[in-house]
Chains A and B, each alone.
Chain A
Amino acid sequence: MIIVMKPGAPVEECNKIKMGLEKQGFYINESRGVNFCILGVVGDTSMVDKRRISANDWVEKIMAVQEPYKRANRLFHPENTIVDVCGQKIGGKKLAIIAGPCSIETTVQMNTVASAVKAAGANFLRGGAFKPRTSPYSFQGLKEQGLDMLVEAGENNRLPIVTEIMSIDKIEKFVECVDVIQVGARNMQNFELLKELGKTNVPILLKRGLSATIEEWLMSAEYIMSGGNDNLILCERGIRTFETYTRNTLDLSAIPAVKRLSHLPVIVDPSHAAGMWWMVEPLAKAAVAVGADGLMIEVHNDPENAWCDGGQSLKPERFADLMQELKKIAAIVDREI
């Protein structure tokens, strides 16, 4: 951590800050430049309250040298983490393909979609039972009833299941029957939920918040990991920008960035990013090419009559075609589907 003092800061003010930090066990390296006095703080500064130091009127700014996350940091864990979900690995050579409808609607729908995506090569089944909708008047999901349909379709087709959790009181139920628990973009900073999920050992799929920086996203991962649950998968799903043509703006540069900063696997959800089915195909290809560890794609047998987000869902035939093309790209970047 570097503390930059304002030009002309009195020596006693510099010393006050210096002594405070030395008392906490840090070594301080003082450097006097042409205009600035700079204090280099040596030691693990992740627990230091930076705002307390910047409250001193003579402090110009504080700059972090080291990232504020530790368990998610590649620095302390150089090898890639591979998360094992019921025998399926996420983060290894084989890509994780999570497919299924936005919302769980009926037993027939779930079974139809599950067998279709399984046949096309998907290795996980998704479906929303608890839905975070912008409007309180929109369909909120079939809840427990939907969860049962998802579990059944997963079992019938031998696909591990992924679904979103929205509150702490459902954790017990999810731990029993869900293989990967998804934390949606809107809950990325629901810290109480993250802390409770940290106490479980179920793999967590952590989506990036709508306006979250990469650092904030990794700090949310850190919340779960610091509780003891290291089974974490990140998911880029597009961020809020000024562009309104697409639902969100897919930030594919986040993939190499996360790979460099962290050892955690990261997948991409092109369906929510674009919000339009015809954009899912090119974006999915780009995601594999850029180095993502997998994809989460919305597939529906009857998008026109879907209860939620039909416009961004692929039909099973299109999904099957896409999988064929993705295989070719995966091979080029030394991955497989």
Chain B
Amino acid sequence: MIIVLKPGAPQEECEKIKGILLKNNFQINEIVGVNMTIYGVVGDTSTFDPRLITVNDWVEKVMRVQEPFKRANRMFHPEATIIDVSGVKFGGKRLAVIAGPCSIETKEQMNTVAAAVKAAGATLLRGGAFKPRTSPYSFQGLKEKGLEMLTAAGKENNLPVVTEIMSADKIEEFVDCVDLIQVGARNMQNFELLKELGKTNVPILLKRGLSATIEEWLMSAEYIMAGGNERVILCERGIRTFETYTRNTLDLSAIPAIKKLSHLPIIVDPSHAAGMWWMVEPLAKAAIAVGADGLMIEVHNDPENAWCDGGQSLKPERFDNLMKELSEIAQIVGREL
């Protein structure tokens, strides 16, 4: 941590700041510049609250040298983490492909889609039972009933299942029957939920918040990992920008950034990013090319009549074609599908 003092900071104020640092067992390296004096603080500052220093009027700014996350940090864990979800590996050579409808609607729908995506080469089945919708008047999901349809379709087609959790009181039920628990973008900073999920040992798919920085996102992963559950998979799904043509702006630069900062696997959801089915294809290809460990793609047998987000869902035939093209790109970047 670097502390920059304002020009002309009085000696007693400097001593005060030094006193706080020494009390916290840090070493101080003082550098006197032409206009500024700075303190280099040596030691593990990740749990030190820099506001203790910035409250002093004579402090110009405090800059961090080290990232505030530890367990998610690649520095302390140089090898990439591979997470096993009921036999499907995230983060290895083979890409994980999660596919399925936005919402779970009927048994028939789930079975049709599950069989189709399985045949096309998907490795996990998705489907929303608890839906975070912007409007309270929109369809909120089939809840427990939907969860049963999802697990049944997963079992029948031999696909592990992924679905979103919205509150801590459902954790017990999810731990019983869900292979990969998704924390949606809107709950990325629902810290109470993250803490509770940290106590389980089920793999967690942590989506990036709508306006979350990469650091905030990794700090949310840190919440889960700090509780003891280190099986976190990250998912980039587009962020809020000023552009309104697309539903969100897919931030593919986040993939190499995360790979540098963290050892956790990261996948991409091109369906939510664009919000338009015809953009899913090119974005999915780009995601593989940029180095993502997998994809999450919405597939629906009848998008025109879907109960939710039909406009961004692929039909099974299109998904099947896409998978063939993706496998070619995967080969080029040294991965396989």
Query: Closest residue of chain A to B6, judged by CB?
Result: A75
Minimal beta-carbon separation of A183 from chain B (angstroms): 22
Which residues of chain A (226-244) have a CB below 8 Å from chain B? 240-242, 244
Given A34-B44, A65-B38, A242-B240, decide whether A43 and B66 contact each other with a Cβ distance below 8 A. Answer: no
Query: Closest residue of chain B to A76, judged by CB?
Result: B35
Query: Closest residue of chain A to B40, judged by CB?
Result: A31
Check A43–B34 contact: CB distance below 8 A: yes
Chain A residues positioned under 8 Å from B66 (CB to CB): 35-36
A85 on the B face (CB < 8 A) = no
B65 on the A face (CB < 8 A) = yes
Chain B residues positioned under 8 Å from A87 (CB to CB): none
Choose from B32, B240, B242 the contact partner of A240 (Cβ within 8 Å). B242
A47 on the B face (CB < 8 A) = no
Number of interface residues of B (CB under 8 A): 23
Q: Mark A6-40, 1 if CB is under 8 A from B, else 0.
A: 01000000000000000000000101111110101
Check B35–A66 contact: CB distance below 8 A: yes
Most buried by A among B4, B36, B40, B63: B40
In the complex, what distance in Å separates the CA atom of A242 from the CA atom of B7? 38
Helix, strand, loop or mixed for chain A's interface? loop
Query: Closest residue of chain B to A249, judged by CB?
Result: B242
Check A42–B33 contact: CB distance below 8 A: yes
Check A241–B42 contact: CB distance below 8 A: no
In the complex, what distance in Å separates the CA atom of A53 from the CA atom of B63? 19
Check A7–B75 contact: CB distance below 8 A: yes
Chain B residues positioned under 8 Å from A304 (CB to CB): none
B135 on the A face (CB < 8 A) = no
Check B63–A33 contact: CB distance below 8 A: no
Chain B residues positioned under 8 Å from A43 (CB to CB): 33-34
Chain A residues positioned under 8 Å from B38 (CB to CB): 2, 40, 65
Helix, strand, loop or mixed for chain B's interface? loop
Chain A residues positioned under 8 Å from B35 (CB to CB): 66, 75
A185 on the B face (CB < 8 A) = no
In the complex, what distance in Å separates the CA atom of A29 from the CA atom of B32? 9
Choose from B2, B32, B42, B240 the contact partner of A34 (Cβ within 8 Å). B42
Count the A-B residue pairs with Cβ separation under 8 angstroms: how many? Answer: 60
A44 on the B face (CB < 8 A) = yes
Check A38–B4 contact: CB distance below 8 A: no
In the complex, what distance in Å separates the CA atom of A11 from the CA atom of B35? 29
Chain A residues positioned under 8 Å from B134 (CB to CB): none
Check A29–B65 contact: CB distance below 8 A: no
Check B244–A244 contact: CB distance below 8 A: yes
Chain B residues positioned under 8 Å from A276 (CB to CB): none
Check A2–B63 contact: CB distance below 8 A: yes
Q: Mark B222-254, 1 if CB is under 8 A from A, else 0.
A: 000000000000000000111010000000000
Query: Closest residue of chain A to B29, judged by CB?
Result: A31
Minimal beta-carbon separation of A225 from chain B (angstroms): 18
In the complex, what distance in Å separates the CA atom of A241 from the CA atom of B239? 13
In the complex, what distance in Å separates the CA atom of A65 from the CA atom of B39? 11
Minimal beta-carbon separation of B228 from chain A (angstroms): 24
Minimal beta-carbon separation of B283 from chain A (angstroms): 20
In the complex, what distance in Å separates the CA atom of A40 from the CA atom of B30? 10
Chain B residues positioned under 8 Å from A63 (CB to CB): 2, 63
A4 on the B face (CB < 8 A) = yes
Given A29-B29, A40-B31, A65-B36, decide whether A34 and B43 contact each other with a Cβ distance below 8 A. Answer: yes
Given A2-B2, A65-B36, A65-B38, decide whether A242 and B63 contact each other with a Cβ distance below 8 A. Answer: no
Chain A residues positioned under 8 Å from B63 (CB to CB): 2, 63
Minimal beta-carbon separation of A213 from chain B (angstroms): 15
Check B244–A38 contact: CB distance below 8 A: no
Chain A residues positioned under 8 Å from B32 (CB to CB): 42
Binding site for B on A (CB under 8 A): 2, 4, 7, 29, 31-36, 38, 40, 42-44, 63, 65-66, 75, 240-242, 244
Given A33-B65, A36-B65, output 18 extra A-B contacts at Cβ < 8 Å: A2-B2, A2-B63, A7-B75, A29-B31, A31-B40, A32-B42, A33-B42, A38-B2, A38-B65, A40-B31, A40-B38, A42-B31, A42-B34, A43-B34, A65-B4, A65-B33, A65-B38, A244-B244
6 A–B contacts from the bound complex (CB under 8 Å): A29-B29, A38-B40, A40-B38, A42-B32, A44-B34, A244-B244
Binding site for A on B (CB under 8 A): 2, 4, 7, 29, 31-36, 38, 40, 42-44, 63, 65-66, 75, 240-242, 244
Question: When A and B form their complex, which 8 residue pairs have the shortest distance between CB atoms, in order from nearest?
Answer: A40-B31, A31-B29, A29-B31, A31-B40, A33-B42, A42-B33, A240-B242, A242-B240
